[in-house]
Structure 1
Amino acid sequence: MSSPPPQPPPLRMRPTAALVRAAAIGCGALALAVLAGRPELIPAGLPLLAWALVALARRILRGEEQGIPTPRLSVNRRRLEEGGTAAVRVAGTPGMLVAATIPRRGHTALGPRHGSLGADGTAGLRVSAQRWGQVSVGPVHVLVADALGAFRAQRELPPLTLQVVPTATVLDAPTEVPTPIGISGAHLSSRRGDGTALSEVRAFRPGDRLARINWRVTSRTRQLHTNATFTEQDTEVLIVTDTTADIIPAPWAEPGTPTSLDMTVRATSAIARHYLRAGDRVSLFDLGHLIGPVPAGSGPRQLRVLTDALSRAHRDDGTLRPVRRLRSVRSGTLAVVCTPLLNPATITQIGDLVAHGADVIVVDTLPPSIGDVSVLRGRPLRSGGAASERFWPEAWALRRLLRRTTVRELREAGVPVTAWRGPSSLAPVLLSLSAARSAPRRRRS
């Protein structure tokens, strides 16, 4: 049986500067009135002294000499999608003024705008996450004061972590796969067996199910006939993510333009959601050690496990990470590689997947603004700064030209490459693969 979490120490209320001034001025005015014989000073100091005495008596009657409970920080939801909002609640003692301040983090929006709010007893704020990952709420600075403003205390509450999962994008693409390899699922195979798609009507054989007897043909031919069907199979979808480096957009790109890591994570989430809803088994393998591997699974639980793994990824300082090699893959697996196609080791890994018999699709996650110098036509380039800043556009333009050779070689090898532009990015590739699966093939002699 787990023990309850330790309670934080109580807040010790300290006199405010207003209380000290009121007591000092009130006592000084009364003393001066008595010593100097000037009774007109009594009305000037008596209200301040009375306010100080009332505040002190109120504190004694409420039993606040030993301190008050520390306000509690809570959120209504720890897991939300990109663009979602979580309500942050700082609950203090009723009858006390509670002022809470939350520091603003990157890619978050606060409500109120500056993250500060005062309220009676409980302060409620809002945190909107605009980017996937871990979002830290806090440390929250809390100031507690009594109703008269005579005593106050302040403390920093430890931060809470919100888990922001990628947006639940639904792909506008078919669910057919080139090579179904399972024994049950949603994909129609060429093998006859238990299923719902009609293959042919044939004569009844011993062992056929009575429920599949075609009574219309039987009554017409005076001989038992049964319906033969195609089996429905599933497949294993392997999503390979390239997180070896995070490529940021060009300086002239619009604010909020996603980086290569953002595009990779969002594409991975959309592809996994698409095939898990179709009943397939989906696994995840990360080449850059940023996202832990997710074993193959199916159903809503697998979708939650995978999105949790994506949201736990942390953005580091942009250092280049070594590529982790995928040892083996089952023949016929649909492998979707989300990569900006800049690391030679990743290109080698794509070749290994093809050599193992996987059906490989490459999703290009390089930001479109990288290497695009069309926006610079007619505009003078900056001549100051370091050399890396002066030649940044030209260097990336040359790198994109070199990358075109890689894309052409992959396509010539039978590996389709499509750029990630949203939910409809994979539709042309999957339609072509589905058509290639059903197209006639030349028989080898």
Structure 2
Amino acid sequence: MSTRPTAALVRAAVIGCACLALAVLAGRPVIILAGLPLLVWTLVAVARRIARGEEHGTAAATVTSNRRSIEEGGTAAISVRTAPGVLTAATIPLPPHSHFSPRHGSAAGDGSLRLRVSAQRWGRIHVGPVHVLVSDAFGAFRAQQLLPRLDVQVIPHSTVLEAPVEVPTPIGISGMHLSRRRGDGTALSEVRAFRPGDRLHRINWRVSQRTGTLHTNATFTEQDTDVLLVTDTIADVAAAPWSGENAPTSLDMTIRATSAVARHYLAAGDRVSVFDLGHLIGPIAPGTGPRQLRVLTDALARASREDGRTHPARRLRTVRPGTLTVVCSPLLHAEAIAQIGVLVAHGADIIVVDTLPPSIGDVSVLNGKPLRLDGKVSDRFWPEAWALRRLLRERTVRELRESGVPVTAWEGPSSLAPVLLSLAAARSAPRMRRS
């Protein structure tokens, strides 16, 4: 960007030259003293610009970010740089659900400046466009430039799920889940007589010495499993107006629950995949390890709530029997409820995570008085309508639990612990053998 003379420089030059000309024409040298300071300031500013060369004439500004991907609550540094010795000021529009330091997204410095942006919600925040103003030390030359915006990806918070890693039906080949099938593993099943083909390092020498015959340790195999995360992003249900500005919506709770469950089972070495009933996330193929976690968190962060178009719900046609399936849904749409029934019919182990905001349908704030929203009495009966809808939804929740599908509300990292513990206890409970 090329710098141009400011109005102050033009006024100082015009007034200084006018005083000089008037003193010559009137023959009164005293008049020169009135415009001499302005004329000197003008000459010094121009001489300083010439002495420094053309670097101020084309002071290019650049904006960079030290991080293109941060977690919820994380901070990224935005740097604006121009030529050294140039007074630089930058202003950035405040994106929603984020905070700047310094406040209001404005800062000034000598040749370079830095702002810090903190993201409060997952997704993608647009930093910019950045309005940059540069000036020399005398304020005689100035230039402005509008820099393009930067996109910073905000991934869901890396919540550590407080739950066991046991699954009801491990269906893989090798892993850390204890199987009912005997084979190579570390969990002791029984001590039995040695048979041809048994491994020598499994011989129990203490029992063999006591009995006089070779005995070996039999163990259970350890397997991995398939974990399918089904997300319901058909609609985003906002929290009640009285719950606060930063109260999570159903989509926020779905994204955070999906991220926590995926991180939990990927750390255990399982294969995790995602199927979205809506069109905000898209399907993610099964995978394991840190790479799969990066792919999954990037896909979750790219989900945008700005798309207001209505799409038909996707349908999952089949699933491998025994797959641990975690369905994150507010349980409001018939398509999502029907999909749970299809998964149960295919033999999947289903856990439903209720992601409806708890403030929805809560009529305790009324107390027999009209609800005031933004200082006005609400005449739309919004709380009463949602209360009736929640009562209808409770019937669906009750029918799911009666059919053997556990439903638990998402309340943080410890939400799934009771359900997984009960599934693990049911798996290890004694069973009646049919004759």
TM-score tier after normalising by the smaller chain length: over 0.9
2:96 is equivalent to residue 106 of structure 1: yes
Separation in structure 1 between the aligned mates of residue 188 and residue 211 of structure 2, nearest angstrom: 20
The residue that corresponds to 2:319 in the other structure is: 329
Give the Å deviation of 1:221: 2.4
Give the Å deviation of 1:43: 2.0
**8 Å Cα contact 2:187/2:219 also seen in 1:** yes
**Which of 306, 316, 328 is 1:316 aligned to?**
306
Q: Provide the secondary structure at the position in 2 that maps to 1:292.
A: coil
Give the Å deviation of 1:65: 8.0
**8 Å Cα contact 2:16/2:38 also seen in 1:** yes
**8 Å Cα contact 1:291/1:313 also seen in 2:** yes
Give the Å deviation of 1:121: 0.7
Structure 1, 312-321 or 333-342: larger mean CA deviation: 312-321
2:186 is equivalent to residue 200 of structure 1: no
**8 Å Cα contact 1:30/1:42 also seen in 2:** yes
The CA deviation string for residues 86-127 of structure 1, in whole angstroms up to 9 with x for no partner, is 000001100101111111010010111011111001011011
The CA deviation string for residues 297-323 of structure 1, in whole angstroms up to 9 with x for no partner, is 111111111111100111125454321
2:120 is equivalent to residue 130 of structure 1: yes
Separation in structure 1 between the aligned mates of residue 317 and residue 72 of structure 2, nearest angstrom: 34
Indicate the RMSD between aligned Cα atoms, in angstroms: 1.9
Separation in structure 1 between the aligned mates of residue 13 and residue 292 of structure 2, nearest angstrom: 66
| % same residue | 73
Structure 1 residues 331 and 94: CA distance shift in structure 2, 3 A: same
The residue that corresponds to 2:11 in the other structure is: 21
Q: Provide the secondary structure at the position in 1 that maps to 2:365.
A: helix
Separation in structure 1 between the aligned mates of residue 377 and residue 92 of structure 2, nearest angstrom: 40
**8 Å Cα contact 1:381/1:390 also seen in 2:** no
Structure 1 residues 411 and 143: CA distance shift in structure 2, 3 A: same
Separation in structure 2 between the aligned mates of residue 318 and residue 28 of structure 1, nearest angstrom: 64
Separation in structure 2 between the aligned mates of residue 131 and residue 384 of structure 1, nearest angstrom: 24
The residue that corresponds to 1:3 in the other structure is: none
Q: What are the residue-to-residue correspondences of 1:76-225 with 2, within 5 Å? A: 76-225=66-215
What runs of 5+ residues in structure 1 fail to find an aligned partner? 1-10
**8 Å Cα contact 1:330/1:356 also seen in 2:** yes
Separation in structure 1 between the aligned mates of residue 352 and residue 193 of structure 2, nearest angstrom: 47
Structure 1 residues 384 and 162: CA distance shift in structure 2, 3 A: closer
Give the Å deviation of 1:365: 0.3
Separation in structure 1 between the aligned mates of residue 372 and residue 93 of structure 2, nearest angstrom: 35
Give the Å deviation of 1:438: 1.0
Give the Å deviation of 1:28: 1.2
The CA deviation string for residues 277-316 of structure 1, in whole angstroms up to 9 with x for no partner, is 1111110011101002111111111111111110011112
**Which of 426, 429, 434 is 2:419 aligned to?**
429
**8 Å Cα contact 1:384/1:390 also seen in 2:** no
The CA deviation string for residues 226-245 of structure 1, in whole angstroms up to 9 with x for no partner, is 21111001111100000000
Aligned residues: 435
Separation in structure 1 between the aligned mates of residue 211 and residue 163 of structure 2, nearest angstrom: 44
The residue that corresponds to 1:4 in the other structure is: none
**8 Å Cα contact 1:264/1:365 also seen in 2:** yes
The residue that corresponds to 1:294 in the other structure is: 284
- Matched AA of 1:233: Q
**Which of 215, 237, 247 is 1:247 aligned to?**
237
Give the Å deviation of 1:384: 12
Structure 1 residues 444 and 321: CA distance shift in structure 2, 3 A: farther
The residue that corresponds to 2:428 in the other structure is: 438
**8 Å Cα contact 1:213/1:225 also seen in 2:** yes
The residue that corresponds to 2:257 in the other structure is: 267
What runs of 5+ residues in structure 2 fail to find an aligned partner? none
Structure 1 residues 384 and 247: CA distance shift in structure 2, 3 A: closer
2:209 is equivalent to residue 228 of structure 1: no
Give the Å deviation of 1:40: 2.1
Q: TM-score, normalised by structure 1?
A: 0.94
Q: Provide the secondary structure at the position in 2 that maps to 1:374.
A: coil
Q: TM-score, normalised by structure 2?
A: 0.96
